[in-house]
Amino acid sequence: MSELLEAAAEAGKLDAADELAALRERFVLDDVVYLDGNSLGALPAGVPARVEDVVRRQWGELRIRSWEESGWWTAPERIGDRIAPLVGAASGQIVVGDSTSVNVFKALVAAVRMAGDGRDEILVDATTFPTDGYIAESAARMTGRALRPVTPAEVPSALGDRTAAVLLNHVDYRTGRLHDLPALTAAVHAAGAYVVWDLCHSAGALPVGLDEHGVDLAVGCTYKYLNGGPGSPAYLYVRRDLQDRFDSPLPGWNSHAEPFGMRPAYAPASGAVRGRVGTPDILSLLALEAALEVWDGVSVEAVRAKSLALTDFFLRCVGEYVPDGLVESVTPAAHAERGSQVALRCDDAGDVMKRLIERGVVGDFRAPDVLRFGFTPLYVGFADVERAARVLAETLG
């Protein structure tokens, strides 16, 4: 009982000192402890009114005029520039549109094409989210390359003069392990190959440093830590000095140098626009633009500091509250190796998560035995963390 009281009191002090605590008011939340922002971020409070304006005024009244008057046509690049600071990129290198899967395909095939015919192997993260693996396998077949799955730790020794491209995840979606983007990027470049990073579980949770570390290509979704809404469009980063060589396997009229010229021959536009394909999904795209306003005045470095403090506190509370042997953390303890989630292995994990949700603590389950808890520092507080660990202990007990 004393441990519970002490942790609860400490949580109160930490929340009182939290410089990001006021950001919670920028979201639509209730008394549920929401620790599933690594799957779907909470609704930013400004989004409903913005979407209503898009539907009623921009679409309902202006109609076709909104492509110009409401800035619909330039939204993919404009919103890309809003995301850019969150992943450490200068403007003009990110375009928003399509799904993560489609952008993985575009980036990986373009990387192989830039590598040239002399390199006949693609390396893919063997622990990747399944879709990335499916896309990599298809891209390999379509480009006549061999696909070689390796763990991120094995990448440096697996690289060679046959390597064309490497597809890696910044954070492991199951365990929350953060991979060493700077070192792995440098290793890929030393081998003369190109790297594609999937940032789905890192963008909006921690500094990425795309420009600083010379990343070639990167993709990511916007519905997790960026809170863009279910199915919100993904983004594609193409490093500036590679843009004139970016040869998309999905050339569309939106990425044509003269999109309204309707010419039979394709001529790519310049810049990040080359990553576009077809007509943008305006409703979800502009909902994302409104969602990104919650980042106004927010430092990614401050978000990272709070993320580590939250996950440290959660692991400590779980260690103090839950009897030995009932759960095992599969998330690295070292800060340099941890994203913004904690994954706990336990028996009957699927049933345990259902019972947690019934008691107002929402995480998610990954087969066969993992409880995942995602910590979004913009709206998760330390009292939430203490309550989640306490309810977990009571549920298991």
Residues with a known catalytic role: 129, 198, 223-224, 372
219 vs 228: CA distance, rounded Å: 15
318 vs 222: CA distance, rounded Å: 30
Cα separations (Å) of 63 from 69, 169, 321, 360? 10, 40, 57, 43
394 vs 397: CA distance, rounded Å: 5
Helix (H) or strand (E) holding 318: helix 300-321
334 vs 351: CA distance, rounded Å: 29
Sheet holding 235-238, edge to edge: 94-96, 235-238, 217-220, 194-198, 163-169, 121-125, 146-150
> C-alpha 388: how far from its chain's center?
24
273 vs 388: CA distance, rounded Å: 44
Comparing C-alpha atoms, which of 8, 19, 9, 12 is closest to residue 305? 19
Amino acid at 256: H
Comparing C-alpha atoms, which of 82, 57, 83 is closest to residue 70? 57
Signed CA dihedral, 40, 46, 49, 52: sign only: negative
Task: Write out the two tokens for 14.
Answer: 């930490």
> 206, 377 in Cβ contact below 8 A?
no
> 390's torsion region: left (phi>0), alpha (psi -120 to 50) or beta?
alpha
CA-based radius of gyration for the chain: 22
Task: Give me the DSSP letters along 346-396.
Answer: -TTHHHHHHHHHHTTEE-EEETTTEEEEE--TTT--HHHHHHHHHHHHHHH
